[in-house]
Amino acid sequence: MVRILIENACILPITGQDRVIQPGYLIIEGQLIKELGAGSAAPGPYDLVIDGKDKVVMPGFINTHTHAAMSLMRGYADDLPLMEWLEQKIWPLEAQLKPEDIYWGSMLAILEMIKSGTTTFNDMYFFMEETARAVEETGIRAVLCRGLIGLGPEADSGLEDSRRLVEKWHRSAGERINFRLGPHAPYTCPPSYLKRVIALARELNVGIHTHIAETEGEVENIKKQYGKTPVELMEEVGLLELNTIAAHCVHLNSDDIRILKEQGVGVAHNPESNMKLGSGIAPVPEMLKAGLAVGLGTDGASSNNNLDMLQEMRSSALLHKVNKMDPTVITAYQALEMATVNGAQALGLNKEIGSLQAGLKADLIMLDLKQAHIQPIHDIMANIVYSAQAADVDTVMVNGQLIMENRKILTFDEELVLDQAARHARELALRL
């Protein structure tokens, strides 16, 4: 079993607002964190010793809502409202996608995520065999699902494909890959279809990843059709009982928040995507006050336009401060929690990842603090949220394996990914 020591570092375990260990050490054995503490570790032997001088060690970021392969569509259809963006631009282009496009788009997204400190992402798309293959090869951790549309010719085949994917890939690649079922949204999956999804999820013992209440138009249309809010409708059909993570949750009332809390639903807050598409501002302070597990997500690179969780943390904190006209809303520590431990809880993985504790998986990152835009350091948490940049991420480890060191990717060929992704994006645009 490989033993790794990180020494002489500032450690942020994200287990309490006042918990900063400096200087500190962290010992990894195999896939797990064995020990961490202040001062120096006991003498080895260790297979690898990493000097943490001028670095902070913290949990890797957990991106709770992505469409990874949409990195191929970055900048393709900007400055449009959601439904126009989807119906007139994105869906026609997605109809031209081939499996190899999904593989290279996913590889590009994973490269971007690793280089900005993300160690786990929660993804919904199609041709998900290709995304699973990319995850397996690169060493990152992911929760994946095939997007399900209950209207149209792929309703039945989508369920069959989801079953096959769960049976083949769930808890695979050293338990780095988990699968869920992915009913897209209340407006694309009628209740009769959702009941079939629920039955399959119960049979396979997996959770749900869906979009809920992203726009005012969605809420109004669901109310007209069913006489209920999207959250009330999802509760009625039973979808919220199944370890569900709901993306966006922008337009909620107090009853919706109560229902989500009672049902134990995790929320993926996507502030930059919601701002870019003009969808609105989610009631995150209210959800946090109610005790909901609210994680952060970037959404796809076509509606963000990056997968940078450091930027997402900053945007979330600043957005809610100005929306409430209250600088105490969403503190730096709360933003860090949303990007790490809250995300793990929202995905039902908080017993494995999300914080630095003995017995949890060694999913961690190291940021280089010796940067002009970070110094001086009066409050390390505030500096990370409000000052740090993606390029400050120096080292990334998942499951105890180094996958980036000194900003060099160790598990795959970065240049090959960049070249292939650019080629596939060009070819995709020519198919229209």
Q: What are the helix (H) ranges across 281-406?
A: 284-289, 309-324, 332-339, 341-346, 380-386
Provide the domain limits for residue 379: 3-58+366-409
The answer to whether residue 49 sits within a structural domain is yes
178 DSSP β-pair partners: 143
Token code pair at residue 65: 């809502």
Residue 44 confidence (pLDDT): 85
- Residues in the chain, how many? 432
Helix (H) or strand (E) holding 412, with range, is none
The answer to whether residue 426 sits within a structural domain is no
Indicate if 157 and 195 belong to the same structural domain: yes
Token code pair at residue 33: 């964190």
User: What is the residue type of 228?
Assistant: K
* Separation between Cα atoms, residue 344 and residue 275, nearest integer Å: 24
> What's 402's domain CATH number?
2.30.40.10
> What's 335's domain CATH number?
3.20.20.140
* Separation between Cα atoms, residue 60 and residue 62, nearest integer Å: 7
Residue 50 confidence (pLDDT): 98
Indicate if 239 and 113 belong to the same structural domain: yes
Indicate if 54 and 66 belong to the same structural domain: no
Indicate if 76 and 45 belong to the same structural domain: no
The answer to whether residue 432 sits within a structural domain is no
Indicate if 34 and 130 belong to the same structural domain: no
Indicate if 76 and 111 belong to the same structural domain: yes
* Separation between Cα atoms, residue 384 and residue 390, nearest integer Å: 10
* Separation between Cα atoms, residue 140 and residue 119, nearest integer Å: 6
At 48-76, the pLDDT tens digits run 999 999 999 999 999 999 999 999 999 99
The answer to whether residue 352 sits within a structural domain is no
Residue 336 confidence (pLDDT): 98
- Please give the full DSSP string across 103-149, using - where no structure is assigned: HHHHHHHHHHHHHTTEEEEEEEESSHHHHHHHHHHH--EEEEEEEE-
11 DSSP β-pair partners: 21, 57
Indicate if 26 and 71 belong to the same structural domain: no
* Separation between Cα atoms, residue 272 and residue 316, nearest integer Å: 8
Total count of domains within the chain: 2
pLDDT in tens, the chain (432 residues): 899 999 999 999 999 988 999 999 999 999 999 999 999 999 989 999 999 999 999 999 999 999 999 999 999 989 988 889 889 999 899 999 999 999 999 999 999 999 999 999 999 999 999 999 999 999 999 999 999 999 988 999 999 999 999 999 999 999 999 999 999 999 999 999 999 999 999 999 999 999 999 999 999 999 999 999 999 999 999 999 999 999 999 999 999 999 999 999 999 999 999 999 999 999 999 999 999 999 999 999 999 999 999 999 999 999 999 999 999 999 999 999 999 999 999 999 999 999 999 999 999 999 999 999 999 999 999 999 999 999 999 999 999 999 999 999 999 999 999 999 999 999 999 987
Indicate if 243 and 124 belong to the same structural domain: yes
The answer to whether residue 424 sits within a structural domain is no
The answer to whether residue 264 sits within a structural domain is yes
Residue 86 confidence (pLDDT): 87
Global confidence as pTM: 0.97
* Separation between Cα atoms, residue 288 and residue 398, nearest integer Å: 28
Indicate if 219 and 281 belong to the same structural domain: yes
The answer to whether residue 421 sits within a structural domain is no
CA distances 228 to 91, 171, 195, 222, Å, are 27, 36, 17, 7
Indicate if 46 and 73 belong to the same structural domain: no
Residue 18 confidence (pLDDT): 83
The answer to whether residue 358 sits within a structural domain is no
Indicate if 22 and 136 belong to the same structural domain: no
Indicate if 192 and 50 belong to the same structural domain: no
